[in-house]
Structure 1
Amino acid sequence: MSSATETLCGQAFGARQYHMLGIYLQRSWIIDLITATILLPILIFATSIFRLLGEEEAIAKEAGPISLWFIPIVYYFVFSLTIQNYLQAQLKNMVIGCLYAASFVLHLLLSWIFVIKLNLGVLGAMGAMIIASWTTVIGAFVYIFGGWCPNTWKGFTTAAFSDLLPVIKLSLSSGVMLCLELWYNAVLVLLAGYLKNAEIAISAFSICVRVSNELGRGDAKAAKFSIKVALATSICIGVFFWILCLVFGNKIAYLFTSNEEIAEAVSSLSVLLAFSILLNSVQPVLSGVAVGAGRQTVVAYVNVISYYVIGVPIGALLGYVGDWEVTGLWIGMTCGIVVQTLVLCYITWRTDWDEEVNKASKRLNKLFLKTLEESNESPTQD
């Protein structure tokens, strides 16, 4: 839902309505905080939910305690994602880079202390992630509230509670669009839990999904500034990691596990993983273009058809009926991504950008609020 902040802040900054960025940020905080709170029962009752879904008891029991540790992460996302979009709209990418670089170093240090030295296991790893993650938010608060965004942050205002409905609609469209994409991977991981040797299947599939998404993901946020540059950059990055996965595919799993059986399962998927990385270097940029143009609803429909009408059925068919197991699920996922990428390419190519500019202008004018200075300067009428 935070991608709505990206759309509104990016377009407001381009229209020189600088003071609106801070108001949009606060509106997103209100909407996302309420949404995150509504979602808490899913994390609190994770074990019961997995049991209802028929997952193995060992997996269901393990998910319960870990899911509770994700509650601080959910609230971290409320602030980190919205602030990231707010700062990126102002081209303050270096600030974001420094904050996350510092968080990364702290994360490594805390993980080493909690997991290796104190032998706290998974809970130590979660604690390290929570502390490191929230340092980025605290650092961002210091930067924003400390006066380094004078044009876009005018302080907290009750104006943030006005005109929430249009922002809610755009946030919901954004949420549906991106959740359909995120849930696609999650559904396939869930399906892996019903295969033979479920724990091995889930571990191998989760590692591949993580590697594919993270290595293949280009700078999607830059798409609204320059589609060609973003695509070229992301494709170059994708090709680089595509080659790495083809060459070192049998070694990648050891970055995440020491289990030989899991590593072997990941190795068997290395070729599919390599091509998924290549696809994921293009797809996020095209999604970023849609977000920048405020076309989340259109992409939501594309995601439903690509992922759930095509990808999941093919994966389930090959995985269960064809007895290809994890390989079949992964082929289904890849088919969905291919279809989505091709459709988004066509939509981007056919887009009338002059018309999109007019739509953005109309949206901004509806949500525009005058600054206090502008209000005082307006002539009074008898």
Structure 2
Amino acid sequence: MVSSPSSHGSSSAEPTSPSRTTGSHHWHDLIAGAIAGLGARAMTAPLDLLKIRRQLAPTSASSSSLASILGGEWRIYHHLHSIAKREGGVRSLFRGNVAASYLWMGYSMTEFWVYGRTSGYLRRLCPDGGGSNGDVKASVAIGFAAGAISGVCATVVTYPFDLCRTIFAARGIFPIPATNVTWSEHTKDLVSRSRRQWPYVQRRPPRTMYDFARQIHDANGMRGFYAGISPGLLQVIPYMGINFALHDAVVVMSESNDSIVSGAAGMGAGVVSKFLVYPLDTVKRRLQAQAFYGTSSGGEDAARKVSSFSNNRRSSSMILPGTASSVVSYDGMMGCFKEIGKKEGIAAFYKGLIPSLLKSSISTGASFWLFTLTKNILRSTG
């Protein structure tokens, strides 16, 4: 990667992090970030789908112990095979991949570019935080602050793609509705924070990103594209802060500019940071799904009923027995926390944790590895 001259004379031979970039090569961050984002997405798409599905499916508090939830999540191949068999083959494991690719590419470009600018500025204010001989504590503090800022910026810029990815991933686990209430009427009640429990409302899953955007805008206006962003922002501050802080600390201590070291550091940082903020991610997913479908998911049981009914009938108002009781309307972020904790138990916040940790370790490690590798290649070619 490109190294920027620090106030105490660091050279290009020093170990580098995403922050050490010269002003004449800022465009390197954008190119490397795009490649890193697309590469990481390609490696982890099925795990991401499984994680989102698990987060959206509610459970009863009596069966929601942490041991039972985590115990069943090690069967990753079984779950992915079940989805592929039920929903149309391996292609279904990449549902929402177009939106997710835009998300990851845009997120990584914004994230690494903002991180490079912010951390470079902070290092000039705190010289002990830069260079191979820099103070590790200062490097960690700078990495955390710059990582948090870059994460917030990237989240705001790309959040509509994140919402779109969740809606596409949720296809197949929402039961078919049972009422003639129109979406616009139902949405008005959701927007006004109505706490009444509604029957399922017919909502045809979008087939394209344009279809998704049109339906969200018609129902909620521009604010609909940012449903669930509050827990998303609260999550990303410690998540990206820890990611970059741990990564930079390892890079500085190892005194290495190797892309493998950068990838390994990112992999470890991804696991630690994801575990700490995971409950916020679960709340964000529930609010995102509610913005489009209007209710919580009926889970895999409902998915099987959807598949069975769809194969036999094409009615637009079919009733699924036993699903109406699972309807939940969350009253914002705090309301979602309360509802999940009360009805499903604390362990429900960690549904999908195992595939999420596996996905985070692979995607974060791959992102830093590809970013560093690409930056090194760009630097060597001038």
* TM-score normalised according to structure 1 size: 0.30
* TM-score normalised according to structure 2 size: 0.30
